[in-house]
Amino acid sequence: MNREILNENIFLKESNYLLQTTLNSLTSGIIVLDKNGEIVFKNAAFAEFAEKNNYESAFGNNYLKACKENPDGRKIAEAIGKIISGKKENYSYEYKYHIGQKRRWFNVEVIPFKGLGSFHVLLVHSEITEKKLIEESQKNLLDNLPYIIFRIDNSYKVHYISPAYERIYGKVNKNLPIDITSLSLPEPLLIKIKYKVESEVNDNGKNIIDFNWESYPDGDKLYNCKIIPELDAANNVETFLLIVNQFGKKSIKESKDIIHYKNWKQLFVHFPDGVVLTNSDLEIIDFNHAFTNIFKYKLKEVKGKKIDDLLVPEKLKHESKAYNQKILTENYMREKTWRLKKNGSLVKVKVQAFPIIFENNQFGFYIIYSLIGGGNDG
């Protein structure tokens, strides 16, 4: 009997040591609270963070009291209180922690559990700074695109209008959705858009419709329009993105926007690495000169085709699927790999990609290809 107890004690000690070693090896800050908010455990990452930021004296032993010193902390403390009282099952919250010029963001997960019969709360603080900076860059990119972007449903109600519209036409009605006829686009152009949607998009929802329209009678404005269908689960066209480039001669506002567009286009075209813009199905919309220099494709040859079908070697298809999943789950991907040129030879590249998201909806992807070591064929 004594041997059994001894073995059990040894097992518990070994298990406890293994658990603490595991928790201390994690980069996320982990603490465990009792039902009164007292800290009963903190891992090495949290202890180090608290020490570097002079939190030892601030936190003391009671986490809830320390949290009430700032607005984000009060929200977390309130949620923990609800979890302890059984009014809430779990909680997740993103918060910023900026010191001087250094900007950082964290996410805290709060999870209740019972340990050896006692009620405890587990908090996991994970740094998400890279994710937030990528989100900021995506928003800045979309807000500064020279294109006007609309999301429109099948009844021609507009659910999203990009900032470029306001730069050109002035104040915009923010009470969306609005009817497409409320837009300050020329009525003949709106008629042309409807015709294109009804005659071409609905026939083949996978198509990207690309057309130009010149205003009459004096032709003072030229519009380039792209219509990108968005499909529902049954592959029916539910909504579509309308991307409009407007070029004009008369309006000062329009002239400024043309300059803005030309500057952005020059950056895109002359960017030293290969850059591809795709829709949400990874079908090519546009790419720059550097992409052509690397892979030898011309845009008119491959526009609308899936980027992976062109560039990914058969033996790396599974890898590419994993990369695509990483983009969707982590909003960013950066890997070194091999890709196919037009002639079938391999080139070593670094691939970076992120989704373009607005209004919590995915519009497409930007993918950047950089040659590694001169891109020697393999």
Q: What is the pLDDT along the chain (378 residues), one digit of tens a residue?
A: 455 555 555 544 555 656 666 667 777 888 888 888 888 888 888 888 777 766 655 455 788 888 887 888 899 999 999 998 888 888 999 988 888 888 889 999 999 987 656 788 989 999 888 888 887 776 677 667 778 888 888 889 998 888 888 887 877 777 889 998 888 888 888 888 888 888 777 555 556 788 888 765 445 677 888 888 877 667 777 788 888 887 654 443 444 554 455 555 666 777 788 999 888 788 898 898 899 999 999 998 999 899 999 999 999 999 888 888 887 777 778 889 999 999 999 999 999 888 876 545 566 788 999 998 755 554
Q: Minimal CA–CA distance to 30: which of 110, 117, 116, 100?
A: 110
Helices (H), the chain: 2-25, 44-52, 56-59, 63-67, 71-84, 129-144, 163-169, 187-196, 252-270, 289-295, 299-302, 307-311, 317-330
CATH of the domain spanning 271-378:
3.30.450.20
Q: Does 3.30.450.20 match the CATH number of domain 2-127?
A: yes
Residue spans of the domains in the chain: they are: 2-127, 143-270, 271-378
User: What distance in Å separates the CA atoms of residue 175 and residue 118, rounded to the nearest whole number?
Assistant: 51
Distance from C-alpha of 202 to C-alpha of 214, rounded to nearest angstrom: 24
**Domain 143-270: which topology?**
Beta-Lactamase (3.30.450)
Q: Which residues of 214-237 are buried (b: 16+ CB within 10 A; e: fewer)?
A: eeeeeeebebebbbbbbeeeeeeb
Instruction: Yes or no: say if 351 and 335 are a contact pair by the CB < 8 Å rule.
Output: yes
The two domains 2-127 and 271-378 share their CATH topology (first three levels equal): yes
Q: Are the CB atoms for 142 and 354 separated by under 8 Å?
A: no
Structure confidence by residue, pLDDT tens digits, 355-369: 876 545 566 788 999
